[in-house]
Amino acid sequence: MKTRVLPIFALAALAACSGNVNNNNESTAPADSTAPADSTMTEVSAVDNSADLLKEAIAVWEKDEWIQGNSDEGKVNRPNQYAYCDLDGDGSSEILLREWLKDSNITGYLALFANGKEGLQLVGLTYQTAQIGGMTLYKNGFVKLDSGNESGTYGQNDYLKIENSSIARSFIATFGEDEDGNDMNNFYKKEAGQERQTISSDEFSSAIAGCDNDNAYPLDGFDWKPVE
């Protein structure tokens, strides 16, 4: 039976916490079937240098090439809200950044950062209001970055596994159709620091088990605060 991966967000991490996608990190490895507690939905106490990390994350957002390229001339889309979370359940807090569109009560741009041993890391930066793409956070520590076209005929889904406030591995699905309309789907696994490897559709499905709507965190469930 053919498997079609359909296209389906964010500042993040002091430690580790949906459209076009700017994904500066490509990682991969087998998924952990044990989901952390729902601590992500409550604010985590920030560490002493949280203010500095927040400033650094905002600076990364504003200088990002994708944000710059999609902003109106002379105007940069800046984040106006932030939240802390602990996506991977390691006791350290990540940071989420978003541009909250108050008039329409929706999230526009969203970014997620992690702050592991290698320092602040941009996990993903997306535009949530587009018809395609976006970012989704799951209770099993996965982050999904989704890109594609409006017809759904081609694109890519990246499932990034956050561990110890860093991207430990990723599982990637690319999908498309040939001229005759036949599926041209491919699946990959990539461990941090290694080349990606081709895997089967069954291996991919097993690896991302639990990444479904029932296990996704709603953005409005986080304790958002205004960016001063």
Please state the domain count of the chain. 1
Contact of 155 with 145, CB cutoff 8 Å: no
Query: Is residue 4 assigned to a domain?
Result: no
145-177, pLDDT tens digit by residue? 998 665 556 789 999 999 999 999 999 999 887
| 2 falls within a domain | no
pLDDT at 14: 36
Kindly state whether residue 3 falls inside one of the protein's structural domains.
Answer: no
- Within-domain flag for 5: no
10 part of a folded domain: no
Amino acid at 72: D
Average pLDDT over residues 10-33: 39
Three-state DSSP at 112 gives: strand
* Residue 191 placed within a domain: yes
For residue 11, being part of any structural domain is answered with no
Give the global pTM.
0.76
The yes-or-no verdict on residue 196 having pLDDT over 90 is yes
Residue 168: inside a domain: yes
Closest CA to 223 of 19, 41, 4: 41
pLDDT tens readout for residues 70-114: 888 778 899 999 999 999 998 888 899 999 999 999 999 999 999
What is the pLDDT at residue 38? Answer: 38
- pLDDT at residue 157, as a whole number: 93
* Domain hosting residue 196, numbered range: 21-226
Per-residue confidence (pLDDT) for residue 71, from 0 to 100: 83
Distance CA 17, CA 112 (A): 8
| Digit-coded pLDDT (tens) for 207-228 | 999 999 999 999 999 999 999 8
Give the pLDDT of residue 26.
39
Banded pLDDT at 22 (limits 50, 70, 90)? low
